[in-house]
Structure 1
Amino acid sequence: MKVAIVFACLLAVAYARPDVSIVRQDSDVQPEGYNFIVETSDGTQHSASGALQNAATDHESLAVKGSYSWTDEKTGEKFTVNYVADENGFRPEGAHLPVAPVAP
């Protein structure tokens, strides 16, 4: 279900800009996990893989690792976000993202 939501969002973004088209879209969905990659003609990319953790228990969850990137239309600067999403929440990292200071 989550994969379908991600694809629907990416398709909505692509269709919102008629001059942008999907140039690559691959996916592999299995009962215990998934992988996908989507690239558009404007250079935007999103890839992720998810794996079911603690299957058939009260602590069943999905652990996802992925990245997405895009190029700013005004500056031409490329931005990339690498992320992990699991039982500890969504944790993005990117050179353009602020980092919390380390506690003393």
Structure 2
Amino acid sequence: MKRYCLALDLKDNPELIATYEDYHKAVWPEILESIRTSGIIDLSIYRTGNRLMMIMEVADNFSFADKAKADNENPKVQEWETLMWQYQQALPFAQPGEKWVLMDQIFKL
């Protein structure tokens, strides 16, 4: 099993942040299925201010490329991503078109 941490910002607006959190209290079943079938075993999102951090525990055969391909071919995932982008904004150093940015581990006990 592997662990990945990713970061993304929300638009710095308390109402938008509250709505974003509400959506994540009842994530669409199709999105949950897409996550599970991709090899993601556990996924958590944390927030401080408008900064998000996602922690993913994945199977050894998990592939970001395969997940992206499956997501691009899934209309419900695309609908969810378009909806969520209303609340999200790219990190200042993200590449064009990049949402969640993979974080580098700098310490482990």
Class of the TM-score when normalised by the shorter of the 2 chains: under 0.3
Q: Report which structure shows greater RCO (CA 8 Å, sep ≥6).
A: 2
TM-score of the two chains, using structure 1 as the length reference? 0.28
More strand, by proportion = 1
Structure label with greater radius of gyration: 1
TM-score, normalised with respect to structure 2: 0.27
